[in-house]
Amino acid sequence: MATKARRAPRRTDALSREVIVEAATQILDTGGEEALTLRALTVRLSTGYGALYHHVANKDDLLAAAADAVIARAMTDVTAEGEPRETLRAIALSLFDAINAHPWLGAQLSRGPWRPALLEIYESVGEQLEALGVPEYALFDSAGALVNYILGVAGQNAANARAAKDVDRTASLAAVAVQWAQLDPARYPRLHKAAARLREHDDRRQFLAGVDLFLAGIETVRRRLPEK
């Protein structure tokens, strides 16, 4: 006579929204957005659908809540006691590292500009730009350009890393460097010269160099803007 498969024992401790969101984040980090299903959550948490629906509405709610939680931690890690420029660099690096650790995050942030996660980023960046002396009427463009750079580059870097997770990065960069070195130096002089630097290319350092360029540009524009 066939025997029934054993069911995993139901959890006996209280289930909270925080516990659910943390479990969802772990699933997202491991398998990406496609791996996050309510069924997968019930298995991981040893609970039923009803218990989940008591705390979250649906998958979109879970994704948004997970993004909010990750960004909240990243922003909490930044202290705003130093010079505004250094604080902005710290914010940028904290977000870069958070998105790199959670590759699904970049796409999620682009879907919900009204979510607390993105609002917190804009508010923090705007506060530091204001402290740098950027006038109020220029804050929107300055903050928007810097935030878009941070999230765009960090998201693309994370996506590239996830796509090439089984590829040796050093070998891959070396192969591209060889191709660039073989380019016609008369037609591609800059790429030809950059080939040597590509081998030792550091995404995080280059990202921060871009942030510094943005901040230098914002400072230049600030000095040229007429008072209103």
Run means of pLDDT, 10 residues per run, the chain, 228 residues: 48 79 95 93 93 92 93 86 90 95 88 81 94 90 94 89 68 80 87 80 90 90 68
Q: What per-residue confidence (pLDDT) applies to 106?
A: 86
Structure tokens at 67: 């993004």
Quickly list DSSP for 109-172. Answer: HHH-TTSHHHHHHHHHHHHHHHHTT--HHHHHHHHHHHHHHHHHHHHHHHHHHHHTTTS-HHHH
| Residue boundaries of the structural domains of the chain | 80-224
Q: What per-residue confidence (pLDDT) applies to 169?
A: 66
Q: d(Cα 126, Cα 132) in Å, to the nearest integer?
A: 10
Q: What per-residue confidence (pLDDT) applies to 167?
A: 64
Tell me the three-class secondary structure of 31-56, residue by residue: HCHHHCCHHHHHHHHCCCHHHHHCCC
Place of tokens 């590509």: 198
Q: What per-residue confidence (pLDDT) applies to 171?
A: 76
**Which option is the CATH number for 80-224: 3.40.50.2300, 1.10.357.10, 3.40.50.970, 3.20.20.70?**
1.10.357.10
Q: What per-residue confidence (pLDDT) applies to 158?
A: 87
